[in-house]
Amino acid sequence: MHEEQERAFEYDPDQDLPATPEAQAGEVEASARERPRTVRDLTPRELGMKGEEMAAAYLERKGWYILDRNWRCEFGEVDIVAREDDEDDTIVLVEVKTRLALGERGEGMPELAVDSRKRRRYKMLALAYIVNHPEADAVRFDVIALNVVGEGAARLRHLSGAYEVDD
């Protein structure tokens, strides 16, 4: 059983917007270089990275401790590894799903991208994390879904305990 929280989330649209590979290589026309990048200009990978930044900022504002970002092992990657507080030894593995939700595409549910195949992979990631971090007494999976609805605005849904290792 999971608990879901939804809230509006504001972010600084100018903060850490990466340049496109074309712009980095100098292959963009002068008019495009002069125009500031917007959220529409982000590649899917860049949008995902921006979503992970927003999710980490959200968790930190809630008082969580970010233990690791983009933790990798032979089974894949965990976007965010966190702990809610000093009293709880539960390690929370957070999968962040971000979608651009402008105009007519405004009501997507990015969390639906966490299918049974990804849940199986996350079970393997959890076991690998516990093996590599024996201090982790318990592991929980959360999903943070972000719909970026405009420059500086996103809808965030935090599904706490989205699924169990035993599922």
CATH of 3-163, one of 3.40.1350.10, 3.30.465.10, 3.30.360.10, 3.40.50.970: 3.40.1350.10
57, 7 contact by CB (below 8 A):
no
Interval 46-91: pLDDT, tens: 999 999 999 999 999 999 999 999 999 999 999 999 999 877 788 9
77, 70 contact by CB (below 8 A):
yes
C-alpha 1/C-alpha 162 separation (Å) is 7
Instruction: Report the 10 Å Cβ neighbour count for 19.
Output: 13
| Closest by CA position to 98, among listed 139, 157, 165 | 157
Q: What is the mean pLDDT of residues 134-144?
A: 87
| Closest by CA position to 145, among listed 166, 123, 165, 160 | 160
pLDDT, the chain, mean: 78
Of the two residues 29 and 103, the one the predictor is more confident about is 103
128, 122 contact by CB (below 8 A):
no
pLDDT of res. 101: 79
Q: What is the mean pLDDT of residues 109-133?
A: 80
Domain ranges of the chain: 3-163
8, 167 contact by CB (below 8 A):
no
Question: Is the model's pLDDT at 9 over the cut of 50?
Answer: yes
Q: Give the sheet arrangement for strand 3-10, strand by strand.
A: 3-10, 153-163, 138-150, 90-100, 76-83, 65-73
Q: What is the mean pLDDT of residues 113-142?
A: 85
| Closest by CA position to 46, among listed 19, 28, 13 | 19
pLDDT of res. 67: 95
